[in-house]
Amino acid sequence: MRYFLEISYNGSTFHGWQFQPNAITVQETIENALITLLEEEIKIVGAGRTDTGVHARHMCAHFDYNKKFELSQLRINLNSFLNKEIYIKDIYRVNDEAHARFSATSREYEYYISLVKDVFSYETSHFIQQDLNIEKMNQAISIIKDYEDFEAFSKSKTDVKTYLCNIISCSLIENENMLIFRIKANRFLRNMVRTIVGTLLEVGLGKIPPGEVHNIIKSKDRSKAGPSMPAHALFLTKIEYPSNIKL
C-alpha cells in the first residue's frame, strides 16, 4: 500500500532534500524516523529535490508499507520524534500507481527579497539595498513567460534529458517592504529559479535591459544569465496532483 506525506521544513540546517553520504538531509531524517516507528526498512521518494538551505512549505513524498496502522497517530508520533525543523502536515493513502515525483502536475516556488534591512527576516530573505525598477523587472518576466527552453537558467553540467519547462504563472508581488517572486511550472531545472531571480535583479538594477532577456534565453548559455541567488530565501510552496490519486 502506498502513502503520501505532506511535509514542510526549514532547510537551514540540512544539506538539501535528497540523501547524501556524510551529510544530514531531510529525506534521510524522515526515513530514519519512519524506520524507528514502523520497525521496518522504509524508503521515501520525494516530489523533487531542494538544494542545501532551501525551505519547503509544501513538499510531498511517498512510501510503501503493507501493515495496518493508524494514520493520524503516525503523524502525531512522527512530529514528536522529528526535530523542530520538520513538520508532517498530513499522511494519506493513495493508489499504488501514484508517484510523488512523476504524478505531480505542477510545482510552485517563491523567492523573498527584502527591500529594507530587517533583523527578523534576514534568515529567510535576501536583502537588496539598492532601488529596483519593478516595471522593468515585470517586462522581463513577460518575456520569460514566452519561452519553454531554459537551458540558460540551468546549472551547468547537469544530466537532464531536456531543458523544456512549461511556465504556468510567473509574477512579482510587492508586500510592504518585501518583494516576492512567485513562479509555477510543470517542472524546474537545477538552480533555475535562483538564476531567474538573479537575472531579474540585474534587470531591476539597470545592469541588463529587459529586452536582453530574449537573447539570454535564446543563447542557451548559462554564463549570459545573472547570478544564482542565495538559497536561504527560496521556498517550495506548492505541489499539485490529480485529484483521483487519493483514496
Residue 16's CB: how many other CB atoms inside 10 A?
Answer: 19
In a 10 Å sphere around its CB, with 0-12 CB exposed, 13-18 middle and 19+ buried, how is residue 155 labelled?
middle
Handedness of CA 96, 102, 105, 107 (dihedral sign): positive
Nearest to 50 by CA among 42, 39, 58, 62: 58
Task: Reply yes or no on whether 118 is catalytic.
Answer: no
> Is 219 in contact with 152 (CB distance < 8 Å)?
yes
User: Which residue is it, cell 508581488?
Assistant: 173
Task: Dig out the grid coordinates for 37 from the structure.
Answer: 516507528
What pLDDT shows up at residue 141? 98
pTM: 0.95
What residues does each domain of the chain span?
2-103, 106-238
Cβ neighbours for 100, distance < 8 A, ≥ 6 positions apart: 4, 45, 46, 47, 60, 61, 62
Q: What is the pLDDT along the chain (247 residues), one digit of tens a residue?
A: 999 999 999 999 999 999 888 899 999 999 999 999 999 999 999 999 899 999 999 999 999 999 999 999 999 999 999 999 999 999 999 999 999 999 999 999 999 999 999 999 999 999 999 999 999 999 999 999 999 999 999 987 777 889 999 999 999 999 889 999 999 999 999 999 999 999 999 999 999 999 999 999 999 999 999 999 999 999 999 999 999 999 8
CATH architecture for residues 106-238: 2-Layer Sandwich (3.30)
Are 2-103 and 106-238 the same fold in CATH?
yes
Do β-strands 55-64 and 2-9 pair in parallel, antiparallel, or remain unpaired?
antiparallel
Helix orientation angle between 134-145 and 212-219, rounded to the nearest 10 degrees? 40
**Residue 161 has what pLDDT?**
85
Measured between alpha carbons, how far is 118 from 126 in angstroms, rounded to an integer?
10
CATH topology assigned to domain 2-103: Alpha-Beta Plaits (3.30.70)
The catalytic residue among 51, 90, 118, 131 is 51
Length of the chain: 247
**52 DSSP assignment:** T
Return the SS3 of 93: strand
The answer to whether 78 and 37 are in contact (CB under 8 A) is: yes
Phi and psi at residue 236, to the nearest 5°: -80, 120
